[in-house]
Amino acid sequence: MGTKIISKQSEGHLKELDRQKFRKNLLEEELKSNLNSKEISVFEAGCGHGHWLTSYCIKYPNKVCVGIDLIGQRIKKANCKKNKNGLTHLHFFKAELNEFLEVIPNKVIFEAIIFLFPDPWPKVRHHKKRMIQPNLLKNLAKRSLSGTSLYFRTDDVNYFEWTKSHIEESPFWEMDTSAPWLYEESTYFQDLMQCYFSLVAKKV
Ligand SMILES: C[S@@+](CC[C@H](N)C(=O)[O-])C[C@H]1O[C@@H](n2cnc3c(N)ncnc32)[C@H](O)[C@@H]1O
């Protein structure tokens, strides 16, 4: 009975690994054919419907920008906005952040990275699901230049403190308390919030 449960669990795990491999291969191909630039001016993780990044690209149409989100329907909406505005330097991909960083071509460098209202996962047992983690900060640093800025905004004070302390403990990033916000434009989630907290860090 016990062995049966374990083998069912490992069978499920193997299937998930297969699905992950398949997803990553597809994404890798998609990136190879659609992302020709070496420098990405702004990378947005968890871009939702792409409201903020589209607005940024309307203002700065020559900057190459990339937004990713887990949810395909949101990326579909983001691509509609991009196409409606004829923004050829803006790219949206349906992707999970860690998988995206694993398969993005080696040459690609981010000049700015932004997280706007990422899911806060308030329960302690769910903190491991938060996007900001030591390993993520390390992997983002590999894709950054010295001076690359990381912008983070949340309505959840606990997630704000979590991110601040992870940055303070990271050998790759430091707080940049005098840096201005990259670009002010509300997002779907920002519009719903009464107040929020922002920080800027820079790659050391
Ligand atoms: C609360 S919404 C915020 C969306 C948008 N930034 C805004 O402010 O309106 C968080 C978004 O992050 C996406 N997301 C969560 N975890 C992710 C991950 N690991 N990789 C990519 N996207 C993720 C979700 O699908 C969701 O669209």
Residue 171 φ/ψ, nearest 5 degrees: -75, -5
**pLDDT at site 135:** 98
b/e sequence 155-180, b meaning 16+ C-beta within 10 Å? bbeebbebbbebbeebebbeebeeee
Q: Which residue's entry shows tokens 């990713």? A: 68
Ranges of the chain whose pLDDT falls below 70? 1-6
Task: Give the Å distance between the CA of 119 and the centre of ligand 1.
Answer: 6
Domain range annotation of the chain:
1-34, 38-203
The atom of ligand 1 lying closest to the CA of 131 is 19
The atom of ligand 1 lying closest to the CA of 96 is 20
Give the type of residue at 24.
Answer: K
Return the CATH class of domain 38-203. Answer: alpha beta
